[in-house]
Chain A
Amino acid sequence: MGRKQVIDKIFRNFFLVVSTSSVLALIAIIFFVFVQGAIPFFTSTAPSIHLIPFGINEFSVNSELYRFDDLPRNAKYVELEQQCESYSVLFSNNDESVTLALEIDLDNDVVADRVSILSSDGGEVDYTEEYVYEVKYKGTIAGQESGFYIAIPQTPTNFFSEFLFALDWRPTYNKQYGILTMVLATFFSTLGAVVIGVPMGLLTAVFLAEFIPKGVGRYVRAGIDLLAGIPSVVYGFFGLMMIVPLIKKISNAASGSGLLSAVLILAIMMLPTVISISETSLRAVPRAYREGSLALGATKMQTSWKVVFPAAKSGILASIILGTSRAVGETMAIIMVAGNSPQMPGRLTDGIRTLTATIALEMGYAQGRHNRILFSVGIVLFVMILILNTIILVLKKRMTEES
């Protein structure tokens, strides 16, 4: 083998290696999102109870001394291990020595009872947030309070009863992560968009493929391409400025942001996908079909709808599903017009919040399990899309077999 052959071979292998990056990327995406999103359903938020001081620098737990400044930077808490069931926390407040006595029972079914505060020496005990106790001591100056947060680890969330089929989404205080309303919101907004967008898209596609006068077609197609290129925030902006006020005026509802606005915007956004892919597959139908039908005395219209259209049905179906998956995945435009309240949509004008909107809106501030749960929401979305994608792949295969 000559030198040139060797160089060629090296390049060939190099190209192969680079080419696998798309496969690697796909695997990485699936892996990372799925692992991160699966954690809440399998593990507790922490292995132990956390004692988090505020306004206290020196304290001892069961006579072991801790200084706030010495705690590691990203973990300003003391872990209370499960083996030892009762703790006494000692510190000084206003030069008085204070003892906080706790008892721990992590196996208790009632979350609040996993920690019992035996005595607090005048501290004010609060259970404001589920999974978190607050023990507060007054300082010399009003507002300068000190004390502890006692964070109880959250047990694994049940995927079905506490996530997928649960109604309440109150992630910050109540740690409730039900996403059923969002699944339904995504479903209804997409369904609405399909109901409006698909018929319009298909009428246009057939018109473009079969009937449009020669010179005009180019410009119409350019318009459809343009429609596909407009960024989703611009659609959202238009919806917010135009459609939302219009709906508010017509319906007399408190706000125009809601299901109907979302449906209309999504319908417009899915049109280019439906039109261009359907048109392509309509054009791919062999001439012989058309001629055969026309020769039997059918009109051009009948030929188009009764012969050409059915012949292209795999591609048309694929275009509809692709449009659907675009609608399911759409984020920013929806956020801008849908109102975003996580509730069951009752009327067309009710605000809705889709799966995608939840991720985008809350990722900025979500902490701990809430943050991970947003990845779980991503998984749900991902699975929906993968199912739709698989259908498209099957249809595409059928298309190539047909032709």
Chain B
Amino acid sequence: MRGNVKIRRNKDRAVYTSMAAATILILTVLGFIIAYVVIQGAPGLTWEFLSSSDWRVGIWPMLLTTIYVVIVSLIVALPIGIITAVYLNEYAKNPRVIRGLRLAIETLAGIPSIIYGLFGLLVFCRFFGFGQSIIAGALTLSIMILPVVITSTEEALKTVPMSFREGSLALGTTKIQTIRKVILPSAMPGIITAVILAIGRVVGESAPVLLTVGIAKNVPRSIMDSGRTLTIHLYYLTKEAVEENAFQQAFATATILIVFVIIINMITRTLSRNYEKRMGSVI
């Protein structure tokens, strides 16, 4: 048995090396993608590029469209998502109801985004007559981010200690008062994380946006207008590449998206770390 030790150790070392190599390779790929895009894109990030309403020069229309889509979809998805999470975590007793809701939410989470696009096109663009517009896209995306909002809000609610609920109810408050005044405020950092994750999803999404919001390059006058989000703009810049500086612009647009993702990641990280620290003293 002892004789095996050396062989075993060599084998272990080989496996260890391959694991470390895989990890390093993945990180390298990540670093490379970011560096490759940002190095070529950063010089293009001028004030003119960000603020010009002329799509040949800048991306202001796309920024605006993206912001509109984010805001409208959050306005729709947040209340529904948070209420659903509260219901699931604070009220629901009937196991059949709970199971049904969870099944629906999990299935929604698994549906590929292009299917949401088909649905939105059919229902919001055609059936409701919104046509390709920001509102149609935002409504579509709001359903898509519902699972994200629900599950992360629920996670936040789960971290609120039972003693808060008991403490409040023992003071003769009603359940809804307890939820509004104690539970939701305590879960707020987690809910903010949910919101930020949802924003990230909406900004990064492309296929359903292409089908429902469209590709109009002008500054949208209202949410009933068609528009072009940053992601779709990036796609069309590379697809059509009519303007001379199309690729330069594409790199700059991709840089904006990457920087945005990095910021979102940093915020959620800090939030959840602070939250753990703070709640750690209570639980």
Residues of A within 8 A of B (CB): 4-5, 7-8, 11-12, 15-16, 18-23, 25-26, 28-29, 32-33, 36, 199-200, 203-204, 206-208, 211-212, 220, 222-227, 229-238, 240-242, 268, 271, 275, 299-302, 305, 322, 325, 328-332, 335-336, 356, 359-360, 363, 374-375, 378, 381-382, 385-386, 388-389, 392-393
Q: Which of B91, B101, B147 contacts A23 (CB 8 A)?
A: B101
Are B111 and A382 in contact (CB-based, < 8 A)?
yes
Are B106 and A15 in contact (CB-based, < 8 A)?
no
Are A233 and B235 in contact (CB-based, < 8 A)?
yes
Are B23 and A207 in contact (CB-based, < 8 A)?
yes
Q: Which of B22, B97, B122 contacts A207 (CB 8 A)?
A: B22
Are B12 and A203 in contact (CB-based, < 8 A)?
no
With an 8 A cutoff between CB atoms, is B261 at the interface?
Answer: yes
With an 8 A cutoff between CB atoms, is B174 at the interface?
Answer: yes
**Least Cβ–Cβ distance between A238 and chain B, in angstroms:** 5
Residues in A whose Cβ lies below 8 Å from that of B29 = 268
B113-144 interface bits toward A, Cβ cutoff 8 Å, 1 = contact, 0 = none: 11111110111000000000000000000010
A29-B119, A233-B235, A236-B235 as given contacts; A331 in contact with B33, CB under 8 Å: no
Residues of B within 8 A of A (CB): 8-9, 11-12, 15-16, 18-20, 22-23, 25-27, 29-30, 33, 36-37, 79-80, 83-84, 86-88, 91-92, 97, 100-101, 103-108, 110-119, 121-123, 143, 146-147, 150, 174-176, 200, 203-207, 210-211, 231-232, 234-235, 238-239, 247, 250, 254, 257-258, 261-262, 264-265, 269
Q: Which of B26, B104, B106 contacts A200 (CB 8 A)?
A: B26
Are B206 and A385 in contact (CB-based, < 8 A)?
no
Are B114 and A229 in contact (CB-based, < 8 A)?
no
- Bound CA span A237–B234, Å: 8
Are B101 and A19 in contact (CB-based, < 8 A)?
yes
- Bound CA span A382–B117, Å: 12
A8-B176, A236-B235 as given contacts; A21 in contact with B204, CB under 8 Å: no
Are A26 and B115 in contact (CB-based, < 8 A)?
no
Identify the closest chain A residue to B22 (Cβ): A203
**Least Cβ–Cβ distance between A198 and chain B, in angstroms:** 11
Are A237 and B206 in contact (CB-based, < 8 A)?
no
Residues in B whose Cβ lies below 8 Å from that of A220 = 23, 27
A200-B26, A223-B27 as given contacts; A230 in contact with B118, CB under 8 Å: no
Residues in B whose Cβ lies below 8 Å from that of A19 = 83-84, 87-88, 92, 101
Q: Which of A12, A204, A363, A385 contacts B121 (CB 8 A)?
A: A363
A211-B19, A231-B203, A375-B122 as given contacts; A15 in contact with B114, CB under 8 Å: no
- Bound CA span A388–B111, Å: 10
Q: Which of A200, A222, A231, A359 contacts B118 (CB 8 A)?
A: A359
Residues in B whose Cβ lies below 8 Å from that of A200 = 22, 25-26
- Bound CA span A127–B262, Å: 57
- Bound CA span A390–B55, Å: 45
Identify which of B118, B211, B257 gathers the most chain A CB atoms within 10 Å of its CB.
B118
- Bound CA span A224–B18, Å: 18
Q: Which of A4, A7, A22 contacts B147 (CB 8 A)?
A: A22
Residues in B whose Cβ lies below 8 Å from that of A212 = 23
**Least Cβ–Cβ distance between A203 and chain B, in angstroms:** 4
Are A29 and B100 in contact (CB-based, < 8 A)?
no
Residues in A whose Cβ lies below 8 Å from that of B210 = 332, 360
Q: Which of A226, A382, A388 contacts B30 (CB 8 A)?
A: A226
Residues in B whose Cβ lies below 8 Å from that of A375 = 118, 122
Are A378 and B115 in contact (CB-based, < 8 A)?
yes
Are A234 and B23 in contact (CB-based, < 8 A)?
no
Nearest first, the 6 closest Cβ-Cβ pairs linking A and B are A329-B112, A231-B204, A331-B207, A203-B22, A207-B19, A301-B12
**Least Cβ–Cβ distance between A222 and chain B, in angstroms:** 7
- Bound CA span A11–B110, Å: 30
**Least Cβ–Cβ distance between B75 and chain A, in angstroms:** 14
**Least Cβ–Cβ distance between A304 and chain B, in angstroms:** 9
Residues in B whose Cβ lies below 8 Å from that of A227 = 26, 30
Identify the closest chain A residue to B111 (Cβ): A385
Are A238 and B123 in contact (CB-based, < 8 A)?
no
Identify the closest chain A residue to B173 (Cβ): A4
- Bound CA span A360–B36, Å: 27
**Least Cβ–Cβ distance between B215 and chain A, in angstroms:** 8
Are B84 and A18 in contact (CB-based, < 8 A)?
yes
**Least Cβ–Cβ distance between A20 and chain B, in angstroms:** 8
- Bound CA span A29–B115, Å: 8
Are B19 and A7 in contact (CB-based, < 8 A)?
no
Are B203 and A23 in contact (CB-based, < 8 A)?
no
- Bound CA span A208–B210, Å: 37
Q: List 16 A-B contacts (CB under 8 A).
A: A4-B174, A11-B175, A21-B146, A25-B108, A33-B122, A203-B19, A212-B23, A226-B261, A227-B30, A232-B206, A233-B254, A301-B16, A336-B235, A363-B117, A378-B114, A386-B107
Are A25 and B19 in contact (CB-based, < 8 A)?
no
Contacts A23-B101, A359-B118, A381-B112 known; 9 new A-B pairs at CB < 8 A: A16-B92, A22-B147, A26-B107, A29-B143, A32-B119, A200-B26, A234-B234, A302-B12, A330-B112
